[in-house]
């Protein structure tokens, strides 16, 4: 629910290296007090909590960020940027190379393990049930592997554990088959035969939202994500740069609806600015450190409101 200007809590969490131990402990206490107070006000009316996660969460599990050096791909003497590889146009022109890139990324995702941030969000879901929704930009499936329920986990950019028909049946998700390779080797004939639609035999494509495609409701929960943000009591953005369209719209919708914005990110960005400008909080630090703290504070606020 909205709060009056006098009630707003503006907070920039400290960077630990800047402060001596005693001063840092004091700043952490101030951070927790401000967090508890803000969540108690926001959740007093029994509203919903929405968490929005980005690449920074998965980076702490060892998955390189999409726009990092590992995102680039070399074909012959040409170097392609992620914005060029992750497109329908590239898939039409060089489908084997696009699949090689995604199988390489799939291999990294499957070797990664959920971290403390993923697990803390599972705890929040268990505590809040239908009052919680997780929206993730990450395609690695780590939230589901950690235990977040599929029905309350909107994967707005897709999931590399699935593929879809590149032809007429492109609305139907198919689990990735057991492949003899998930690396950057050239596709074998065997792998090529497996990466097809089981209904029609047409070539399959990764189930991801490409740069030259649009969000929709059926595949990427566009309208549902916006509605959830617009009606939430608290929106927690975690490890996301704010560079994509739907997450930015969600933050604006939550702010217009009077929701408390909490941004967790080591660096200040547009979501931190939106939070601070609207009476919310920016917790500067890694997701594995800050998400458990926020999760515990949410549980305290919900328990206090239930009494």
Question: Is 262 within 8 Å of 232 (Cβ atoms)?
Answer: no
Residues across the chain: 307
The two structure tokens encoding residue 2 = 């909205």
Do the strands 49-53 and 234-238 form a parallel or antiparallel pair, or are they unpaired?
Answer: parallel
Residue 174 has pLDDT above 90, yes or no: yes
* Helix H or strand E encompassing 83: helix 82-85
Counting other chains too, the contacts that 165-168 makes at CB distance below 8 Å and 24 or more residues apart are 165/197, 165/199, 165/200, 165/202, 165/204, 165/205, 166/91, 166/95, 166/197, 166/202, 166/203, 166/204, 166/205, 167/197, 167/200, 167/202, 167/203, 168/200, 168/202
By mean pLDDT, which of 63-77, 121-135, 206-220 is the weakest?
A: 63-77
Token pair 């649009």: residue: 214
**Can you give the pLDDT at residue 74?**
66
Say how far apart CA 20 and CA 187 lie, in whole Å: 55
Find residue 260's DSSP bridge partners: 234
Say how far apart CA 86 and CA 162 lie, in whole Å: 16
Token pair 């697990």: residue: 119
Residue 125 has pLDDT above 70, yes or no: yes
* Helix H or strand E encompassing 281: strand 281-283
**Can you give the pLDDT at residue 238?**
98
pTM for this predicted structure? 0.88
Catalytic residue IDs: 157
Question: Is 134 within 8 Å of 80 (Cβ atoms)?
Answer: no
Per-residue pLDDT of 48-94, as tens digits, reads: 999 999 999 999 999 977 555 555 666 766 787 888 899 999 999 99
The CATH homologous superfamily for domain 8-25+38-60+114-157+216-306 is TPP-binding domain (3.40.50.1220)
Per-residue pLDDT of 228-274, as tens digits, reads: 999 999 999 999 988 889 999 999 999 999 999 999 999 999 999 99
């Amino acid at each position: 629910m909205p709060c009056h200007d006098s009630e707003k809590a503006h907070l920039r969490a400290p960077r630990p290296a800047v402060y001596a131990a005693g001063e840092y402990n004091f700043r952490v206490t101030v951070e927790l007090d401000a967090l508890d107070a803000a969540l108690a006000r926001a959740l007093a009316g029994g509203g919903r909590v929405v968490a929005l996660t980005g690449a920074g969460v998965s980076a702490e599990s060892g998955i390189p960020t999409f726009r990092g050096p590992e995102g680039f791909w070399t074909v012959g003497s040409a170097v392609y940027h992620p914005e060029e590889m992750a497109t329908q146009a590239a898939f039409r022109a060089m489908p084997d190379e696009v699949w090689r890139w995604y199988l390489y990324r799939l291999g990294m995702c499957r070797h990664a393990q959920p971290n403390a941030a993923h697990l803390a969000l599972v705890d929040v879901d268990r505590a809040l049930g239908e009052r919680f929704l997780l929206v993730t930009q990450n395609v690695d499936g780590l939230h589901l592997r950690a235990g977040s329920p599929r029905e309350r986990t909107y994967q707005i950019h897709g999931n590399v554990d699935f593929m879809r028909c590149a032809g007429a049946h492109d609305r139907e998700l198919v689990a990735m088959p057991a492949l003899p390779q998930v690396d950057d080797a050239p596709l074998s004939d065997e792998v090529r035969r497996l990466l097809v639609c089981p209904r029609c035999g047409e070539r399959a494509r990764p189930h991801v939202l490409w740069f030259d495609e649009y969000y929709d409701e059926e595949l990427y929960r566009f309208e549902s994500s916006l509605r959830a943000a617009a009606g939430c009591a608290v929106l927690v953005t975690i490890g996301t740069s704010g560079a994509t369209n739907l997450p930015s719209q969600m933050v604006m919708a939550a702010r217009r609806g009077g929701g408390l914005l909490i941004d967790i990110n080591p660096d200040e960005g547009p979501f931190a600015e939106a939070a601070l400008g609207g009476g919310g909080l920016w917790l500067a630090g890694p997701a594995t450190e800050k998400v458990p703290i926020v999760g515990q504070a949410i549980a305290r606020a919900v328990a206090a409101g239930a009494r």
